[in-house]
Structure 1
């Protein structure tokens, strides 16, 4: 087998003709024009597209007249990295997708970022604010003081004012005009309504006063106008209030503003009063600067759900922070206003920061702990996290792919007893090998258990568990042909020649077409299996005594809220040491270019896509080329006989 088929490229190119040829041509023309405009806006798009879909690829195109959609388009080329189906370019509120068919556009829904520890305030959903908004719009609402249902504002269909009104206001407005006036008025906000009322009232001095005893005469008189059909119509005060469905108090306030000589009415001041006991911004800034002095770090597990969440030292708490703040103020000899209470310090901590206090770490990176963390080391584990995210997203979009993480849990004592004497006695250990599986249908956890009297925990046992998992996976999802594995770099269990022989066996028997095995940076292998084990250990702490393995298996099944399978491996172990001889494979220490393979320390990515060979990378970079290793035994030539 000279050339190896890159199935990742095969599964990544599909062609689906439309139902009508005319609609096909129209969509192609519009797509070309749109692509041209986008390339002019983003010059790098054309370069990226040529890199994704080079002209030298041998692609078997299907004619457009065909009504049948082919299963795949065959692409035969040298083994290289899987070509992505699309590249996303974000521009404000739009997202562009560069694909083999062209460039498409869709809207981006930006998630609400939680930047404080407290819940995000949503004032629009508060009952009192909803009621206030409905009241402002003239709709029916429930009073927050009395709990009564207040009716919506409607027009008055009979007399607008007194029957013997000198101006005859009722005859000036029809039913349709009254509805239009009320509708336009309640489309305004509170300040706009006050301005409209203010501008609709005209004030003038009283020309002549009648002599009256002990009665205060008014100095001003007012006229009221309603704008309808682009005309100002004079009305009485009762009709003015009736048409706008307002009270006399609002009119009286506008009259007072006119008497005081104001050009505009006073703004609405509800909710804008100054708090005399408010703490100044200088004190708040001092507290914020004090909190920022403490180093914080992100979590490896929750960074995707809440990237702004950070953790302080587990030795700290809010009371301790407040105590240090008071000591700092005393050292600097600040004013009395800076010495705030612990409750206000807590308020600033929870509303201005998204911080929590961490817990003591375990299984940490030796390089990071020793302070030898280089830029290359940081880039490697960050690239691993990014590649895991890409693999998860690819599995959700394709039914032919499966993403798994695997690891061996810490050994479990059997029996588990609360008696102190049991710590001095020799106990049997129970081994639990966990596989966290992600397919297009969702997550599922598999656990394979056995005791140390049945088998050890070496490469044969891990390969046997992985083989049983693969067979179960194909029974449940026969369409899967691309397996993506993430595990730590433990040489005695996950990263060895026995695992490679297992992959060769799976490819030879056509169980999978492609198997990718990736290894994160040492000390930063935060996998989904670790979360499964964490849930199990949390439940185990609640059980005082465990006597038999079946009790452990029942606890393991119940620990996961989602689907989980726990199996006994007693009769399912195989000897993979004899598999290379049966498959006629040899262990090679050099690649096809006669370069030495530093398998244990340097290899980050293994790929098996054809029998007798495997390909590897020393980086998780998707654009780095693979190196080839031939495992098949070379036949003797005539000169060597």
Structure 2
């Protein structure tokens, strides 16, 4: 060591054993002798143990003592004995003592950090244990509260689930209803097409074997349906190379896949396969006959599938082309036997709908069979049925909201409900330079405009959404993702009679629709069809009455007896209620009836609304005293549209009216002065209902109709009333003729009358007919002294006569006198006028003479012209 400049010292420390070295052992006797002379310094240096430097696991500590070159040239022993370090050397950074202090501080700092970290971990562990213990000490109230919250959450989830289930059920029922309506429309169209070709449809069970069963029934094949299926599939397997070219997916079909599809097709119930469309062609070739399919589709009503070899044999099949519910039925030819069995055969279905507009289409005529010609449509159209309501008929087509909805469906400009002007739809320009489908290169602006016009010319919400369903397809993506990204949408547009794929923006810009419209449409798409409906404006009213309450009101209104018109029953079927009734009185009776039954009644306004919207009844006495021609003239005159022709006809009409009245006045004055002339007016009074009283219970009872023919003498002002009820006889021409005969015989026997003149209105069913004329002819033949009988008719609409005053007097009397039986009418009529009471003659069924038989036997030249 004496010749070396460095002295290396290694100190190893373990976890359990520590080695302490003194300065004398480290630095030798030189340092030891120096520290003896200075006790203060030695005590400071000797009291520093190496164990306080910290614990290090198996880390060697190296110290290098560097000696200067000058000291190494002298004698080491002499230098060590004479060396005495000063205070600055000891405190310098190169001093061995200072190095030890720095290392000791650093080791203490590391040790303190480890202790702090250990203490923090212990504290954290204690906190976790404390929290765990606190959780175990939760009170029963907190547990009960949490349990209640959980129960409420589960109940809410159950309610939401039940609402969702009910909504799903309603949607499924609505979809089923729509599918049934679509199927009914297709079935009716198909039956009409078959009926025009003198064919009828025979229903076949839809068990997946309907095509082959229909083939057996229509073609009268002896084999069973299963055998026909097997034979056709074997025939297609033998000629697989030929029929694989007809597949719609021939680019994706290999021969192995084609044969596998045929094996599936052999199984009963398997039909919705890609090769099912080739089966009719294979069937035609196998049996060597033409397969003619009558379809419910509008575009292709008749399809002829001809075999390779020409033949005259034809097998007819009926095809219901409802997407997702395709079905085949057999067809039978209508013959005399089938016509006789039409009512008993359950498979016979009569087409009630009109023939679709396809016979006017040239393409449809090209597909129609040559030997069958559709029946011509009738040129006559029945007049629209009148709405039986007191209120005017509503016209929903002119409602503002419906006009606004129609304009929106057609893509035109319209004003919204808030008054905002909405711009019309148009084709927006879109450049597809970066599009991989090159949409702009495939479609020109003219073609896009045609597609735009086609879409908005549909004019229907459902048809436009169905167009979107046909042009947008959904498919699974190749990427393994979840959610909306797992489904891709493919957009197509028609180009040269085939679909070309385009990008989404190009599709939306062409039709001027947004993404929301497409997403909602595809959401409501099922089996390739749009199953939703336009629900705008179809929300039920909040204040709408339930159907049971409305039915109770209707039954009460219908409980009142009704009668037909007296004057206009030939040209009108309008019915009338009692003249002493009105809506307010009917509502009061309804309220009393509800109180007896213990049910809630509706307000008078609602009762009036139901009465006016559902019934066309009147309360006043039916009269026809106004002239229709005069009313027309007054209406034209008020509007300022009277022309010369109308004015001339009106003047002639007024002249005839005055002539008729002057004739009656002249005969009236003659009857007053000449006793041998009898002038009278006669008319049938309006129906007298029995019983007739103001008792409320009698309003609901069925009434008996009684009739009164009044003959009023203009000379002596005497009135004779012939009274009978509907159980005895009617009110036709024979009854009127019999009454005139009785009155004429009575007048001739009472006085020396040789001329009789009657005035009446022009009612053809009662007065102006050949039977009344025959009765007058019979009367003049029976009375010798009677020279002439004249029957004069007043102008229609101006037939006011004196006998009408008798009727008004009777009407006033019956308001204060109740009548319960028909015989009481005679008493009431006779007492209606105090001075010169009316004479009443009750009529029986055996009093009426049959003048119709008399006319057939004695009047043979009634059709001879006047000239």
The TM-score, its normalising length taken from structure 2, stands at 0.31
Structure showing greater Rg: 2
Which structure's relative contact order is higher, taking Cα pairs within 8 Å and 6+ residues apart? Answer: 1
Greater percentage in helix? 2
The TM-score, its normalising length taken from structure 1, stands at 0.41
